[in-house]
Structure 1
């Protein structure tokens, strides 16, 4: 008897999401509206209900629109929830998000910038949270869609980088790129910047300020300038690119070389310095830069590793008024014949 009760005493949950649409005072699921502009008419179609089949993604079938839009206009559809995006049964609730794709983020607005006799459809669905611990009941919510015609704005037609470097720049060099966006009266002329390889060339996404990096040596990166038209929709993005290339002062080292303050070194292999303790630099250290380092009010020569500015732990060379760098006295840079450095006199 106990076993039979357990089998028949299961919970029953049902979910119903009602979808309603309003354009001014007009009710219904498929509506034709005439905007104040006589050149604009449109029909919007949405499903009337959505029965939730389970937690996770549930396809709602989408929003469709047909008609005509006047020049410079767009049709915007905005959704709102009666229960603040929750399916409710009494005091119990199951949260959900309205979105355009499985795994997508919350979406409550859709835009149609072009209409015709052929229906344009925007994907729509809901992602329902896990409800295994919820009591039995009928969980419901009503989502209301409001449509309106707005000014579409003037889109960007082209973007061009004004001041891309025409030759390679030394590692640690900096600069700022600017871009020209056309037409001049585009509604949103914001440009964002990105680099194909920030280990070679990093760039600030908002300001366009770039730095030639030395994290893994030196090389080229493609810089992309993107005008997004002020939307998250990437289909209307306008882009252009340029290439920025880094270089170093020394690609090899040998006796007699002079390395001055600010100069950069990348040999593509390991090289050794005969200083106590012995110091070696390999490709993993990236580009090496000779710098002046102040300790207790006195200046010394040291090396910075790559772009993180860490310094090897070795006794540095004292800087005096008539010196400007280090001079390689002898050595080949191998582990058996290390470089010996001396202070270089101007």
Structure 2
């Protein structure tokens, strides 16, 4: 039962992956994007096989380029979740003629209650669809981290009935005008290159010191103490259990990552009491005047690492706040109450194509409510 939460592609290998086996009419990868031709009178699409599940899933992407209206009267590009029933789907549609972004849940190819807003290529650069067993949510974001909900709808019955029978379809169409293309990127990932992570040793349960070493040159040399010889050094501290430092050499082939050469990702376990509010701060204490301005922050709890196709248990993005040199994680009791299993988590900061993993470890849930 593959969840659409586990579909990850940044389209950087110039080849259509096996997950997108139903792509059609010239859809291809180029320039680190999924490019879908917008041809006169033809539908073209970047489409997965119909073997996925949207129930309980989250899928987001960057709408990197939209088609121009030219002389057409019907010019669109879509980000859709489709099922076996023709015309039954939900998702986003950009209309190049009207300049509107439509959030729709179609039956027989139409949703009379669809919500439309004027499309803003900056504020709506990122689009997200998610389902939680009760509702479907349409969200937009300028950076893939800070999201604004645009529509909420009770989950259509076909979502639960189409387990292992849904697909993601990214398509474009025009009825007239100059042919161009729509471009999609970063499906379920903010990384345009490799994500760098390393391990630090766990010691006691009362104090933590973990350093993330960010080097400006990928050719920096490693010294005997395993810290990259470069600066600046970002030291992340939290009131938790850790002491250790390590570093990972940069992937020189990942030219999309401009500066990060390595980091020391600390091992920190989250201990969550079901039904209780969880608050923890992670502060850069060793650099005077340091601020996280310009960086976005993200975190997730999964049943297993994403690289092992672990299921998403909780996206922590809505519960993270950046305050100067501090990242605060505050999960309300109403949310921890929904956690019923242990998993793994990680905390990353993101800037442009750079992804730095600061912390990673287990997420241990004390089942106070379930018991």
Common topology (TM > 0.5): no
- For normalisation by structure 1, the TM-score amounts to 0.24
Larger Rg: 1
